Amino acid sequence: MRVKICGITQPEQSIAIASLGATALGFICVPTSPRYVTIEQIQAAVAQLPSKIDRIGVFANTDITEISQTVVKSGLTGVQLHGDESPEFCYQLRQSLPQVEIIKAMRVRNREHLQTAANYTKFVDTLLLDAYHPQQLGGTGKTLDWQMLQEFSPSCPWFLAGGLTPDNIVDALSQVQPNGIDLSSGVERSPGDKDLDKVALLFQRLGDR
């Protein structure tokens, strides 16, 4: 199972988190986010990462030219769209970045909203289900209704996100079977400052399942 730790801001933490077992690291490219990082900060954070680690840039309602430039300059292997991007936008981004993984984040409010995920599966590689918050795009610490997701089986791989922590991850994965999990605030001391003890505990819990 893929394990993505998102909202990385410090180069030394990126190396440590990768060595603990993360398969993907997420970098927030949204200027209004408390976890925002510049291209230079991403470059520093990925410089010494093993090539097998996925490097995902998180964008929200950003134009394709800017996304493409950031991906190329930062050495990203994936793009996570966390705004109101349409399936058509995802298709256009795919034309611009054919070799890059495209992840569409869905901030899920209810079952009906969940059904719109099907509109994206032809145009993206991966879906990510996050908890809905009216003001914040992610990293809110709010959990999803896992029971609602028990029937969720899209035609592409998907990440479970939204308020996951070392303390609730086993419970979450006993109810739903995602292809990957995504944690941010659940393994932090403060926004962008990861708690390596919590990250280590996460992998311990996953290993004990």
Catalytic hit among 29, 54, 130, 182: 130
Helix, strand, coil shares of the chain, percent, nearest 5, are: 35, 20, 40
Token pair recorded at residue 40: 């230079």
Choice among 6, 29, 90, 182 that is catalytic: 6
Which three-class secondary structure state does DSSP give residue 27? strand
Token digits for 79?
Answer: 């793009």
User: Is 6 labeled as catalytic in the residue annotation?
Assistant: yes
Active site residue 90: no
Helices (H), 121-176: 169-175
Residue 110 neighbours by CB distance under 10 Å: 10
DSSP strand pairing (101-108 vs 2-6): unpaired
- CB 65 within 8 Å of CB 89: no
Catalytic residues: 6, 130
